[in-house]
Structure 1
């Protein structure tokens, strides 16, 4: 499980001094010679760390000359500082939960282009990895990262609440979504919420605007890299749909009051687990929490609904995931590639790792593997990951800054700042473009 919120982890210090000239390593090493690699990653939960250790054990069994020294719970900021400094203690292989930063990893030169290594060892990335996962691990044609498992987002729903409300299946369109959310809402005698059909507010847990906007299949940038949200066909329908859902469920202020009483996302008091929400947007990992909590109701999973005029895209969802690459400063880049290749493309390894931490596999073969622990609820997320309409936000030069700007815009709009929408969207585009120019200088 990995949770990266836009506006927090999406911003790293890659734009600092020295970023454009990272220490140079070597791709002339002999990967058959004895070597010790340093691998830095962000996993910290006991089960996840053990899964990494088991992955390394499998790798070392196949490559007895290569030893791997792993360091976990490492932030992007710490990795970037080490890569800028170089030296003998810097990592050879690095992973990140922040796909938004891939544009910076590639453009800064701190992560090497992996295409030469793939050509040298005969790995055809287009045959191995789904296109939508390759898209978020490259920037302007440079494949400086590869996917290391993925997260897909979908809808969790309370089957008992659905049955009691006479709803026979999860909603598939946004109009059905709004209708069902209202129908599932229950209030107390004083008018407060006993159960809410769905919490739409963007500040709620995983409800960032980009995750919900993914159902419209947006294009954030034109071919020249300029922001085009003001001319994106789905943006106005998305915002109106969001605002309409907020209004239908009682208004922004009432929803915010209810939301602020929910507590921590990963506590036993999670509002979906306690029956305060009938529908909830989340990643595939939420199923583990529900199983462990032994909630007192039947629950299911489904894709998030899509716009009414795009029913053929139902099944799509927002994708993200862990990315992995090789440090430019590494003097053992060929040996490092052997580790990256094993972790990302060996089918048995990818399946075993996915099973261990309950994430979506990131290769075509692993997604089809009969060895995958695919319970009924988890299969929903596998289908979302395979859906050709599913997507992740594109990489950009300054990481997730454009998503932070979009998120701030969304906060204001859902709260009622709706006047002059066209003007405000153009202003948002100008802000995003200005931030990009600043990152280039």
Structure 2
């Protein structure tokens, strides 16, 4: 999967939310078709990079060889908004099988009914989903008991670090707790007068992949209570998180000094990015970054480890934030049984999942594939496999508002780190009220 760009989410999520509103009665398809009859399926996906498209096309060829009666017409580089417009309209031009890079929208896909419930198909095929998929990945593909999607590869986030800078600072291993993290970041920070020339680790939430929800996952928070009400103000780990991020910034010169350094960075995907140019000694990123670093050949040695965890949760070290691609069957499809054959192959066939994961350097999304000896043996990649398998790793919980609550949390986090939010307790209570009001509006 192409590296996610959280800064682009709000507009996308708004568009999807608008498209999904009023979709309680999606076009009705059929699961009465014969999956052995000749048929052409339409599969829409978001992959666009040449290597990714090549990998998905190879996957389709493998499927068609096993199912000669089913031809698959793929359409790539399709946004969630475009998919949902087509699903609302229904008809022959709509896709049969769909995928999305945005796990935050699963709650809307399931709640709106535009993606078909997959539990009947899983039962018919004798597939025990809890034995096939890791718990965290299974959780972000369902909403309130409706399994309308399945994982199609995953992304795990960890800590990239500059081994040369570590050796120079006398640091012998990556930090495992937040206190070690803060101490190491301070040692690794370089200053010239009042200017920070290199940050040990930049916690600023607007940096590249540093979306606050990804950092917050190391605390294992609960966003909602059992009734679906926001509970960030009641969650003590929320305050611990913001306090620790502030202390981490202060140990390196403070938020504003780090922001000035961030402004000197080039584009995330370029050779002028903060980590590539040595201006960051440690950096949060996903598993795809390792392949990019190998190809770019920076002038320093680097390694990967899990992100540190709070000191009082040291036994959870190895955890990380998980997300990934999800795939499902359009409710409007008149070939749902044939569509299920394709979806089942893409998401549950071990050889296929391993081959696809190796091809695009993403984390496989089934338990069997995660343990496969055929997986890429690169040590940095295997670090992310261990993060994906860690029982404490966390994904964002689905919501009927899609990612709207995530955007609200991000905006609030920007205010906290910049000092605009003066009363954290009051602000968190207002954030919970905003999230609950958005949820109520979406449900009505």
With normalisation by structure 2, the TM-score equals: 0.97
| Match in the other structure for 2:359 | 356
Distance (Å, rounded) in 2 between the aligned partners of 1:71 and 1:14: 23
Distance (Å, rounded) in 1 between the aligned partners of 2:191 and 2:425: 37
Measure how far apart 1:420 and its partner are.
Answer: 2.0
| Match in the other structure for 1:32 | 36
| Match in the other structure for 1:108 | 112
Match for residue 86 of structure 2 among 82, 88, 92: 82
Measure how far apart 1:18 and its partner are.
Answer: 4.2
- For the pair 1:154 / 2:158, whether they are aligned, the reply is yes
**Alpha-carbon deviations, 1:73-93, whole Å to 9, x = none?**
000000000000111110000
How many pairs were matched up? 440
Measure how far apart 1:109 and its partner are.
Answer: 0.3
The answer to whether the 8 A contact 2:118-2:148 is kept is: yes
Q: Secondary structure at the match of 2:35?
A: coil
Structure 1: stretches of 5+ with no match in the other structure:
none
Match for residue 252 of structure 2 among 230, 249, 253: 249
The answer to whether the 8 A contact 2:134-2:367 is kept is: yes
Query: How do 1:257-336 residues align onto structure 2 when only pairs under 5 Å count?
Result: 257-336=260-339
The answer to whether the 8 A contact 1:7-1:403 is kept is: no
Distance (Å, rounded) in 1 between the aligned partners of 2:18 and 2:377: 41
| Match in the other structure for 2:394 | 391
Measure how far apart 1:123 and its partner are.
Answer: 1.1
| Match in the other structure for 1:235 | 238
Match for residue 41 of structure 1 among 45, 64, 87: 45
Match for residue 378 of structure 2 among 372, 375, 378: 375
Measure how far apart 1:245 and its partner are.
Answer: 1.2
* More off after superposition, 9-18 vs 431-440: 9-18
Query: How do 1:68-217 residues align onto structure 2 when only pairs under 5 Å count?
Result: 68-188=72-192, 190-217=193-220
Measure how far apart 1:191 and its partner are.
Answer: 3.3
The answer to whether the 8 A contact 1:218-1:234 is kept is: yes
Distance (Å, rounded) in 2 between the aligned partners of 1:302 and 1:50: 30
Distance (Å, rounded) in 1 between the aligned partners of 2:287 and 2:39: 37
| Match in the other structure for 1:61 | 65
Q: Secondary structure at the match of 2:233?
A: helix
Distance (Å, rounded) in 2 between the aligned partners of 1:104 and 1:111: 9
Measure how far apart 1:257 and its partner are.
Answer: 1.4
Distance (Å, rounded) in 2 between the aligned partners of 1:7 and 1:230: 23
| Match in the other structure for 1:413 | 416
The answer to whether the 8 A contact 1:4-1:97 is kept is: no
Structure 2: stretches of 5+ with no match in the other structure:
none
**Alpha-carbon deviations, 1:4-36, whole Å to 9, x = none?**
414344444344454111100000000000000
Measure how far apart 1:261 and its partner are.
Answer: 1.9
Q: Secondary structure at the match of 1:438?
A: helix
Distance (Å, rounded) in 1 between the aligned partners of 2:5 and 2:207: 14
**Alpha-carbon deviations, 1:24-79, whole Å to 9, x = none?**
00000000000000000000000000000000000000000000000000000000
**Alpha-carbon deviations, 1:370-414, whole Å to 9, x = none?**
000131111110000000000101000010000101001100000
Measure how far apart 1:418 and its partner are.
Answer: 4.5
The answer to whether the 8 A contact 1:156-1:302 is kept is: yes
Q: Secondary structure at the match of 2:51?
A: helix
| Match in the other structure for 2:56 | 52
Measure how far apart 1:296 and its partner are.
Answer: 1.0
Computed over aligned residues only, the root mean square deviation of the Cα atoms, in angstroms, reads 1.1
Q: Secondary structure at the match of 1:229?
A: coil
